[in-house]
Amino acid sequence: MFRWSVLFAAFVGLGFGQLIIAVEPVRLTTDGRVKRDPVFSKPDGSELLFVVLDRPKQLRLMKLTLASGKVELLHPNETRSEFEPAVSRDGRFLAFVQNRGNLSLALVIKDLMTGTQSDVPPGGGFSGMHSPAIAPNNLRVLYSYPEEGRQHLFSVGIDAKEPRRLVDSSGVNNWPSFSPDGQHVVFSSTRDGDYDLYVMKSDGTDARRLTDIPKQDIRPRWSPDGRRIAFTSNRDGNYEIYLIAPDGTGLSRVTNHPEQDDFAAWSPDGRRLVFVAERDGHQDLVSVDAP
């Protein structure tokens, strides 16, 4: 791991309703390739999965062992694109999106203990299946899927059976993330125009708007202690990482750089945030202590 000397944000106190926080980043990768979708894959926080553009048109799942810095392919013999990994809290289940040809995307759910695999197949024509999230009790998986010209949120059993539509609204609904107790879900939606954050009960009821700004608030991730939600936003010009409380208060900005910071992921103990940082046109994984 390599430490960057540049501070991502200087502490300047309160301004424009948000707190800017000083954090010093630690660089986890150094190859500079296009990356996305980091997620911790072990309950002890020792391992990360992420996605890299390994070939001109193939997204591949990678595994990073933090103690050694070793990076390796998760599925070395796979020729199809795989991305948006989600791992259950206990590390037993892995869900991800897999390209089945002609941009048709299937949801794959693997039981890493037994080796069994279940699939939610793509629908007819182009399938925009995206963003799986595994419930804390390992019973169901949320995902985003298009129907009737809109992007809805669905849930399916961990065995890929019994699909249910949870969110039926106008626009695009995407990037669901469970609260630690599994009772609520945060997600992004364009139902009122731009992408804003919403929180609903895990059965799809009682949705309420968390942010309301004419910019893009995307990719929310609930913290392990349930107190904060990390998300990406371009509300200050370019994409940066922010934190907000589940009731919409306590907005704070974690990163501050002319280039982009995106795809935030919490460590299992909630002490660190890992995200993709773009510097000089190159992308690498970076870790910071959570404020």
Least confident of 69-78, 85-94, 124-133: 124-133
pLDDT of res. 102: 76
CA distance 133 to 97: 11
| Other CB atoms within 10 Å distance of the CB of residue 288 | 23
Maximum pairwise Cα distance, the chain: 52
pLDDT of res. 267: 98
Burial class (CB in 10 A: 0-12, 13-18, 19+), 102: exposed
pLDDT of res. 277: 97
CATH dotted code for 2-289: 2.120.10.30
Model confidence at 170: pLDDT above 70: yes
- Model pTM? 0.91
Alpha carbon distances (Å) from 116 to 92, 120, 127, 131: 11, 14, 24, 21
Q: How confident is the model at residue 50 (pLDDT cuts 50, 70, 90)?
A: very high
Q: What's the rounded mean pLDDT across residues 53-58?
A: 87
CA distance 267 to 39: 8
> What are the residue ranges spanned by the domains of the chain?
2-289
Q: What's the rounded mean pLDDT across residues 47-72?
A: 95
pLDDT of res. 148: 77
pLDDT in tens, 94-135: 999 999 887 789 999 999 999 999 999 886 555 578 999 999
CA distance 35 to 51: 6
Model confidence at 69: pLDDT above 70: yes
Strand order in the sheet with 282-289: 2-3, 26-27, 282-289, 272-279, 261-266
pLDDT of res. 149: 76
Q: What's the rounded mean pLDDT across residues 45-67?
A: 95
CA distance 110 to 128: 20
